[in-house]
A and B are shown apart, each in its own frame.
Chain A
Amino acid sequence: MSAGSGGRAAFSHKTAEIAVAALLLLLGAIAIFDSARLGFAWGEDGPQPGYFPFYVALIICVSSLVNLVRALVAGPGKSKTFVEIGQLKLVLAVLVPTAIYAALIGWVGIYVASVLFVGFFMRWLGKYPWWKVLAVSAGNSVVFFLIFEIWFVIPLPKGPIEALLGLN
C-alpha cells in the first residue's frame, strides 16, 4: 500500500471489516433460511438436501459473528486506513467502466464494447491522442476477432454492428 501519498482515508479498516462481516452474516442467514426450507435433518436414507448447506451456512454465520465482534471491539487506535480517497478514485475509475462494459457486452457485443472500453481507458486515464486510441482499441478487437472467431472457431457475443457488417 502506498504509505507515502498520505491521502485522507475514504474508509477505515474497521468500517470495512464490519461491513464485510455483516454482509457474510446476512448471506449465511439467507442460506440457512433456504436450507431449512429443504430440510436439514437426517432422513431415512441419510442427510436431507439441506443438511450440508445448513451447516456450511451455520459456520459462515458463527465465523462472521466472531469477525464482527472482533472488528467492533478493536480500538480506534489500531484502526488503519482501508483505502485512501485518491486510491478509491482510481479503483472506481476502473471498476465503474468495467461494470458498464460488462453490461454493454449484452447489447452491442463484446468486440464493440471492448473498442469503447479500451478507447475510454486510453483517452481518459492515459490521455493519448485520438489516432493512437483508435488504433489500439480497434486493433485489439480485430486481433481477438481473428483469434476467436476465425482461428479457434469460438463464437463470442456479437451485436447489431457485426450483423450490419455481415460477420455473424
Chain B
Amino acid sequence: MDEIQSLLHGFAVALSFKNFALMFVGVILGVIIGVLPGLGGANGVAILLPLTFAMAQTPGGTTSAIILLSCIYWGALFGGAITSILFNIPGEPWSVATTFDGYPLGQKGRAGEALTAAFTSSFVGALVAVVVITFLSPIVARFALAFGPPEFFAVYLLTFCAFVGTSKEPVFKTLASMMLGFALASVGSDPVTGTLRLTFGSTHMLAGFDFLIAVIGLFGIGEILLTLEEGLAFKGASAKINFRVVLETWRRLPTYWKTSMRSSAVGCFMGIVPGGATPASFMSYGVARRFSKDGEKFGTGQLEGVVAPETAAHAAGTSALLPMLTLGVPGSPTAAVLLGGLLIWGLQPGPLLFVEQKDFVWGLIASMYLGNIAGLIVVLTCVPLFAAILRIPFSVIAPIIMVVCAIGAYTVHNAIFDVWMMVVFGVTGYVFKKLSYPLAPMVLAIVLGDRAESSFRQAMLVSQGELNVFFSNALVGSMTALSLFLLLWPIVSAAIAWVRGKRSG
C-alpha cells in the first residue's frame, strides 16, 4: 500500500506546529466567511489568496499556504449550516437544502440537535471524500501521466458538457453564461501565437480578465445585493450547544447510516464530475426524502433532512479537489480558486504534481483529515460566537464586507481597474442569479478557457487539422463520446418527455 505510506509521510508534513496552527486559523476564518452574507468559500479564498504570496516563497511554504486556504474552504462549508439552521439564511448556496428541515428544527427549540447533526454529517461526508481522494487520486494521476493534448481537451470538453447535461437551469442560459466565460478568457493575448484579441485597443484589457476578480464580484458583491433585497434585519433562534445534546444526537445519528452512505456517494460523484456541492445537496435531499420512511414529514424538521444535504455538500466540496489535483481541472469554483493559487505559487497542477511535489500533495491530503477534525471541534464549541457575528447590524457589516472585497480585488494585480471590474461583475452576478443564469460554468470557463483552447490547438497541430484525433483511441474516444452524449442529453430527455406526453395524452 503505497498510498498509506505516502499518507503517513503527509501527516508528518502537516503536523508541524506552524501548519497545525494555520489549520485552526483557516477553519475559524472559514467559518466566519461562511457565516457572513456575501463572503463564501470561493470569494473568501480568492480574497485571502494574495496574502499567501509571501508565505509560499519560504521553503515548504506552498504546503502551509494550501493548508491555510483549504482549511478556509472547510470552515466555509461548515459555516453555511449555522446560518441556515439559526436564521433560515443559507450562508452558502449549498446550504439552501439544509434550511428545509434545519430551520424548522431550530424554531422548535432543537437548534442544538440540528447543528450537531449538520456538523457531524458534514464531517462524515468530508471524511468519505478524503478517503476517496487518498486512494483514487494516485491512480487517476498515474493514468493521466500518459495524457496528451487530445486527452486533456476531452477532459475539458467533458467538464463543460457535464454542466450542460446536469444543469437545472435552462440549457441556453447555461450555454450563454459558459460561453461568456470563454469569451472573457480569450480577451488578451492568444495563448499560442500571442496575437491580441478582443482588447479593442484598451491597455486595461491587455492582460485579460482574471477569474479571481470575477469570483469576488459575482459571488461577493452579487450576493450582498441579493441579501439586501430581503431587508436589513436578521432574526434568528438562539444557539446553544451543550455537551449532553451533542452526545444524544450522536447516539441517534447512526440510525441514519443509509442516508449518510447514499449522500456521501452522491456527493463524491457530483464533486468529481463537475456538478458541485449545491446540486449535490439538493439531489441528496430529494433522494433521502424518497427513500426515507418518514419521507412525507420532510420539511417539517426531520433530522434526516439535515443529515442528507450536509453530508452530500461536504463530500462534493471535498472531492472537487480530486480532479483539480490530478488533472488540473477543478470541479467547483472554489477548487478553481485553489488551482489559481497553485499556479501563482509556481506549481503546475496535474498528474506530474504527484511525482514532483510529493510533500505538497500528501501534506495537503493529510491536512484534509486533520482540518476537518479541527473544523468539527471548532464549530461544535464556538457556535454561539459565530452566531453573534450575524447579530452585527447589516448596515455595519455590509460596507466592511464590500471594503474587504475591494481590497481583495485590488491585491490580485495591484490594479484599481480590477476594483471597477469587480463592481461590474457584482451587478452581473446579481442579475444573472435572479434570471437563473448559472455562475459556476462561467467561472470555470474563465479559468480553463485558455488551457482548453491551447490543448485543442495543440491537438490540431499534431493531427494536422483532423478532428478524428478526438476519437483516435479508446480513452479519448469514450471521453469525447460521453461529452457529446451529455451535451445532447437535454434534447434527448426533452424528446423522451415529449413522446411520453404524446402517448399518455
In the complex where A53-B198, A82-B434, A95-B427 touch, is A60 in contact with B180 (Cβ < 8 A)? yes
Q: Are the C-beta atoms of A154 and B400 separated by less than 8 Å?
A: no
Are A38 and B197 within 8 A (Cβ)? yes
Quote the shortest CB–CB distance from A66 to chain B (angstroms): 4
A153-B396 contact given A2-B230, A67-B172, A91-B229, CB 8 Å threshold = no
- In contact, A83 and B186 (Cβ under 8 angstroms): no
A160 within 8 A of B: no
Is B435's CB within 8 Å of the partner chain A?
A: yes
Q: List 19 A-B contacts (CB under 8 A).
A: A47-B456, A49-B190, A49-B197, A57-B179, A63-B175, A66-B172, A82-B435, A87-B228, A90-B229, A94-B398, A117-B402, A122-B396, A126-B396, A128-B396, A140-B400, A144-B407, A152-B51, A155-B414, A157-B410
CB distance from B244 to the nearest CB of A (A): 38
Residue of A46, A53, A118 touching B197 (CB-CB under 8 A): A53
Q: Which of B179, B406, B465 contacts A63 (CB 8 A)?
A: B179
User: How far is it, in angstroms, between the C-alpha of A28 and the C-alpha of B231 when the chains are bound?
Assistant: 36
B230 touches A118 (CB 8 A): no
Given A63-B176, A64-B172, 10 other A-B residues pairs in contact with their CB atoms under 8 A: A2-B229, A49-B197, A67-B176, A82-B435, A90-B231, A98-B423, A105-B410, A117-B402, A140-B400, A148-B411
Contact status A110-B190, CB under 8 Å:
no
**B221 to chain A: closest residue by CB:** A98
In the bound complex, how far is the Cα of B178 from the Cα of A24, in angstroms?
Answer: 12
Distance of A148 from chain B, by nearest CB (Å): 7
Q: From the candidates B179, B229, B411, B464, name the one contacting A60 in the complex (CB within 8 A).
A: B179
In the complex, A56→B441 CA distance in Å? 14
**The residue from A60, A63, A121 contacting B398, defined by CB atoms under 8 A apart:** A121
B225: chain A residues within 8 A (beta carbon): 91, 94-95
- Residue numbers in A under 8 Å from B93 (CB-CB): none
A101 touches B460 (CB 8 A): no
CA distance A28 to B184 in the complex (A): 11
Shortest Cβ distance from residue A138 to the other chain B in the assembled complex, whole angstroms? 13
* Partner of B180 from A24, A49, A105, A153 at Cβ < 8 Å: A24
Interface size class of A (residues with CB under 8 A): 35 or more
Q: Does B416 lie within 8 Å of A157, measured CB to CB?
A: yes
CB distance from B427 to the nearest CB of A (A): 7
Nearest residue, chain B, Cβ from A126: B395
Binding site for A on B (CB under 8 A): 50-51, 54, 170, 172-173, 175-176, 179-180, 182-183, 186, 190, 192-193, 195, 197-198, 200, 221, 224-225, 228-232, 393, 395-396, 398-400, 402-403, 406-407, 410-411, 414, 416, 419-420, 422-423, 426-427, 430-432, 434-435, 437, 453, 456-457, 460-461, 464-465
Q: Which residues on the B side are within 8 Å of A136 (C-beta)?
A: 396
A94 vs B400: C-alpha distance when bound (angstroms):
12
A106 near B416 (CB under 8 angstroms)? yes
The distance in angstroms between the C-alpha atoms of A67 and B399, with both chains bound, is 35
B437 x A20 contact (CB < 8 A): yes
Looking across the interface, which residue of chain B has its beta carbon closest to that of A53?
B186
A-B interface pairs (CB < 8 A), number = 172
Q: Is the interface of A mostly helix, strand, loop or mixed?
A: helix
Residue of B nearest to A71 (CB): B435
Which chain A residues (9-43) contact chain B, with CB distance < 8 Å? Answer: 13, 16-17, 20-21, 24, 27-28, 31, 34-35, 38, 42
Establish whether residues A42 and B416, one from each chain, have CB atoms under 8 Å apart when the complex forms. no
**What is the minimal beta-carbon distance from A114 to any residue of chain B, in angstroms?**
5
Q: When the two chains form their complex, are residues A94 and B179 in contact, meaning their CB atoms are under 8 A apart? A: no
Q: Are A91 and B435 in contact (CB under 8 A)?
A: no
Interchain CB contact under 8 A, A125 and B197: no
- Tell whether, in the assembled complex, residue B399 and residue A117 are in contact, meaning their CB atoms are under 8 Å apart: yes
A24 contacts across to B, CB distance below 8 A: 176, 180
Query: Does B183 contact A144, Cβ atoms closer than 8 Å?
Result: no
Evaluate contact between A110 and B179: CB separation under 8 angstroms.
Answer: no
Kindly list chain B residues whose C-beta atoms are within 8 Å of the C-beta of A34. Answer: 197-198, 200
Chain B CB within 8 A of A59 CB: yes
B406 touches A105 (CB 8 A): yes
Q: Which of A38, A50, A64, A98 has the most CB of B within 10 A?
A: A98
In order of increasing CB-CB distance, the 10 nearest A-B pairs are A126-B395, A121-B399, A63-B176, A46-B460, A49-B195, A63-B172, A49-B190, A63-B175, A87-B229, A125-B395
A156 near B175 with CB under 8 A, answer: no
Residues of A within 8 Å of B403, CB to CB, are: 110, 114, 117-118, 140, 144
Q: Report chain B residues within 8 Å CB of A20.
A: 431-432, 435, 437
Pair A1/B437 contact, Cβ less than 8 Å: no
Name which residue of chain B comes closest to A25, CB basis: B176
The chain B residue with its CB closest to the CB of A90 is B228
Closest partner residue, chain B, to A97 (CB atom): B399
Which one of B190, B400, B423, B457 contacts A118 once the chains associate, using CB atoms below 8 Å? Answer: B400
Q: Within 8 Å of chain B (Cβ to Cβ): is A73?
A: no
| Residues from 93 to 109 in A contacting B, C-beta threshold 8 Å | 94-95, 98-99, 101-103, 105-106
Task: Return the chain B residue nearest A82 by Cβ.
Answer: B434
Q: Which of chain A's residues has its CB closest to B176's CB?
A: A63
Report B-chain residues with C-beta under 8 Å of the C-beta of A91: 225, 228-229, 430
**Cβ–Cβ < 8 Å partners of B198 in chain A:** 31, 34-35, 53
CA distance A114 to B407 in the complex (A): 10
Q: How far is B454's CA from A47's CA once the two chains are assembled, in angstroms?
A: 11
Give the distance to chain B from A46, nearest Cβ to Cβ, in Å: 4
Contact with B along A124-168 (1 / 0, CB 8 A): 011010000000100010001000100011111100000000000
A59 touches which of B175, B192, B406, B414 (Cβ 8 Å)? B175
Contacts of B460 in A (CB 8 A): 46-47
Return the chain B residue nearest A136 by Cβ: B396
A97 vs chain B, min Cβ distance (A): 8
In angstroms, Cα B435 to Cα A70, docked, is 13
Smallest CB-CB separation from A93: which chain B residue?
Answer: B228
- The distance in angstroms between the C-alpha atoms of A106 and B416, with both chains bound, is 7
Contact A154–B221 (Cβ < 8 Å): no
Q: What's the nearest-Cβ distance from chain A to residue B461, in Å?
A: 5
In the complex, what's the smallest C-beta–C-beta distance from A18 to chain B, in angstroms?
10
Taking the closest CB of chain A, its distance from the CB of B292, in whole angstroms, is 29
Q: A56-B186, A156-B407 are in contact. Are A122 and B180 (CB under 8 A)?
A: no
